[in-house]
Amino acid sequence: MHRPLHPQMRRISKMMMTTSSSYDEKEEKEEKSLESSFRRKKMKSRTNKTNNKPHTATREEKKAGKFAREHVADFNGIADGNGRKANRDDDIAFALDTHNRRILYVARRTSDIKSSTFNLICGLRELAFEANESGREERNYGDAKCRERMFVVRKGGGRDDDTRRLEEEAKKKTKVLTLSEFDRAVVKVGHSKVCVIQEEEMEEVEVEDDDDDEGREGVGYECVDVTEFSERALMRGKIESDRMIEDDFGRAEEAQNSYPSDADAFFVRFSSNSNRSEEEEEKEAHFERASHRNVVAALRDDATGKIISLAKNTNGGNKILHAEMNLLLNHEKTETKKTLLVTLQCCRMCAALSQRYANELSEVVYLRADTGPLAKMTALQTCEEEGKVRERKHAE
């Protein structure tokens, strides 16, 4: 794709058309020098961003964390959809609204996999999607809402194996708790930046202290719990995915009989499924996402070799709803080992999710490699531990 010239370079090009050939050569050298200088400045800017030190929560952000924790405390003793009781000591995630710093988006953990981090990102994006669908907003502002830093308040960490391991290390060393591999991957794919606020830091501020970082008095927060929006997003993703599968294979009760017979048949059937066009990917970079990525995932029963479940990508309105997410979070668990088949190599988020199902999955097989930055150094590519899931390319 042709890259537009820098404004100053365009002016130089105009002048070159009216000068002599010797002058042309001189201007050409200047143009190259300007372009080289522009590239160096751009590279320097990227380097500075990379070398930034980890963010330390400000007084206002810690106070917002206390407000978020008090809000989640209201759910203490109330069972969620999975029969587990919410606990104020669970990890809590929150984010301040990009335009109104008095609006505090909050999320809590609802299952071992659906942590507060996951629910905040998925819920925020679904909130923006529904606002656009209802006409309250002129477009989907999910990317804009997830552009600012989010925060996670930790006490006792999460309940997944990765976090338990980190907790054990923390007790021996610095007592600092961090995010699980899956949570970090969800932030990478669906948000921008995250800061973990340790429990000890919360004691430094009082909820009653209503001054913000700039000394303004009477600054409180309106808490908006997006946990329910996350659940609604997952349900919508499943319904949309099932509808698309039904269009291909018939009604759900009869669909399995018409599924591809095995892994080879699956990849042949969906060999045309790939990334969106370059033009559509460019639109995504400018926060104008509208269509689903054309990706399909399936589970194959290793004992019989048959395809037992299919799902499609529904991330047009919510970046989190990848095909693997729609498949793994909604399938019925069985004792038999299964293989995860995907038409496009797993991104970091879906690779980390696959590792959470290591006791059920034997391997992950993909049809096409994903050359994008979010598919590099994933949990499927870097894992060397025994008992973890690995990926491989389908032999065409």
Express each pLDDT in 336-380 by its tens digit: 899 999 999 999 999 999 999 999 999 999 999 999 999 999 999
Same domain, 40 and 89: no
What does pLDDT average to over the chain? 78
Same domain, 385 and 312: yes
381 lies in some domain: yes
Same domain, 14 and 161: no
The residue segments making up the domain with residue 116 are 59-225
320 lies in some domain: yes
Same domain, 40 and 94: no
Same domain, 265 and 386: yes
Confidence of residue 79 (pLDDT cuts 50, 70, 90): very low
338 lies in some domain: yes
Same domain, 327 and 187: no
232 lies in some domain: no
Same domain, 63 and 201: yes
Residue owning tokens 């926060």: 287
What is the C-alpha to C-alpha distance for residues 374 and 377, in angstroms, rounded to an integer?
8
SS3 305: coil
Same domain, 263 and 126: no
CB proximity list for 28: less than 8 A, separation 6 or greater: 16
Structure tokens at 166: 């980190």
240 lies in some domain: no
Q: Which domain CATH number covers 364?
A: 3.40.140
230 lies in some domain: no
Q: How many CB atoms lie within 10 A of CB 93?
A: 34
CB proximity list for 17: less than 8 A, separation 6 or greater: none
238 lies in some domain: no
Same domain, 43 and 90: no
What is the C-alpha to C-alpha distance for residues 205 and 213, in angstroms, rounded to an integer?
12
Same domain, 217 and 96: yes
When divided into structural domains, the chain yields a total of: 3
CB proximity list for 130: less than 8 A, separation 6 or greater: 229, 232
Tell me the pTM. 0.75
Q: Quick check: 294 and 275 in contact, CB under 8 A?
A: yes
Confidence of residue 279 (pLDDT cuts 50, 70, 90): very low
Q: Quick check: 76 and 68 in contact, CB under 8 A?
A: no
Greater pLDDT, 277 or 394: 394
Distances 94 to 52, 54, 121 between C-alpha atoms, Å: 22, 18, 9
Same domain, 184 and 283: no
65 lies in some domain: yes
Least confident of 97-106, 116-125, 155-164, 313-322: 155-164
Confidence of residue 208 (pLDDT cuts 50, 70, 90): low
Same domain, 40 and 187: no
